[in-house]
Structure 1
Amino acid sequence: MREIKFNFYNTHTKQYTRWEESNAGMNMCSFFTHEHLRFLQYTGLKDKNGVEIYEGDIIQADSSSPIGNEVTAQVYFKEAGFALLTTRGSDTSIGYLVMICPFAEVIGNIYQHKHLLEVQHD
């Protein structure tokens, strides 16, 4: 069974909080009343360094990945799973993240490191 966990981003204070820092045992009900919190769900996957991958993370896969070249992309929830939106503007299918995560690493998140997603032109 997949663990259900969330990281949080507070749009008011601009603070990003990882699950481990959020006192995971606290009463989560208090969060549901705050409209300024964004919940970023754990994908159930880890990158090549063992770092948990969450919705909103920015990952970078190296050229040894199944696609054969480097890719930088944002992890997001799509339909019934997680997909990637690449800096080249392409949207991947669900399942693609599973295929490349052993070749990728988390390099940031969309709230604190948006500059990592600047569109690349060939």
Structure 2
Amino acid sequence: MREIKFRYWHKEDKRFFSPWSRGWRFEGENGQMYVNGMNVTDRCEIMQYTGLKDSNGVEIYEGDIVQKDGVNFVIEWAHTGWHATGTKSAWSNFQPDIFVVVGNKYNYDHLLIKEESQ
């Protein structure tokens, strides 16, 4: 069975937090995130762990940028499962062991811009 894990990207602080970070709380009933009692839902993005690891054993999360043969792809959820989507091609139900995590779309977005201009 796949391990269910999440991480949060704080848009203002521009860094990741784990859901176990001190003072962080996620309420599944209403889908809201709180830090020390203050609602920060609009300031954060939630990324889910795919349950997959790349060729180096690195966990792959939604929003990660993976690379194969010098081409970058973003990991996204679609109706049928996790997909690696690039500007020129996409991998449905991809094999994670042929990819390498090189960053994420939040603090390594320049990797996507470079790929788009090629």
TM range (shorter): 0.7 to 0.9
- Aligned 1:59-74 pairs, distance under 5 A: 59-62=66-69, 70-74=70-74
SS in 2 for 1:49: coil
- Determine if the alignment matches structure 1 residue 89 to structure 2 residue 88: yes
Q: Select which of 100, 103, 110 maps to 2:98.
A: 103
Match of 1:40 in 2: 47
Shift of 1:9: 0.4
Kindly provide the CA deviation profile for residues 46-81 of structure 1, in whole angstroms up to 9, marking residues without a partner as x.
Answer: 01111000000000123xxxxxxx431000111141
- Determine if the alignment matches structure 1 residue 28 to structure 2 residue 26: yes
Which structure carries more strand by proportion?
2
Which structure carries more helix by proportion?
1
Q: CA RMSD in A?
A: 2.3
Moved more, 106-115 or 7-16: 7-16
Match of 1:49 in 2: 56
Q: Where does structure 1 lack aligned partners over 5 or more consecutive residues?
A: 63-69
Give the residue type in structure 2 aligned to 1:23: W
- Determine if the alignment matches structure 1 residue 9 to structure 2 residue 16: no
In structure 2, what is the Cα distance between the partners aligned to 1:80 and 1:36?
Answer: 29
CA contact (8 A) 2:75 2:85 kept: yes
In structure 2, what is the Cα distance between the partners aligned to 1:24 and 1:3?
Answer: 19
Kindly provide the CA deviation profile for residues 24-67 of structure 1, in whole angstroms up to 9, marking residues without a partner as x.
Answer: 797533726422111100000001111000000000123xxxxx
SS in 1 for 2:75: strand
TM-score, structure 1 normalization: 0.73
The number of equivalent residue pairs is 106
CA separation of 1:92 and 1:79: change in aligned 2, threshold 3 A = same
Shift of 1:120: 4.3
TM-score, structure 2 normalization: 0.75
Q: Where does structure 2 lack aligned partners over 5 or more consecutive residues?
A: none
Percent identity for Structure 1 against Structure 2? 35
SS in 1 for 2:42: coil
Misfit runs of 4+, over 2 Å:
22-35, 88-93
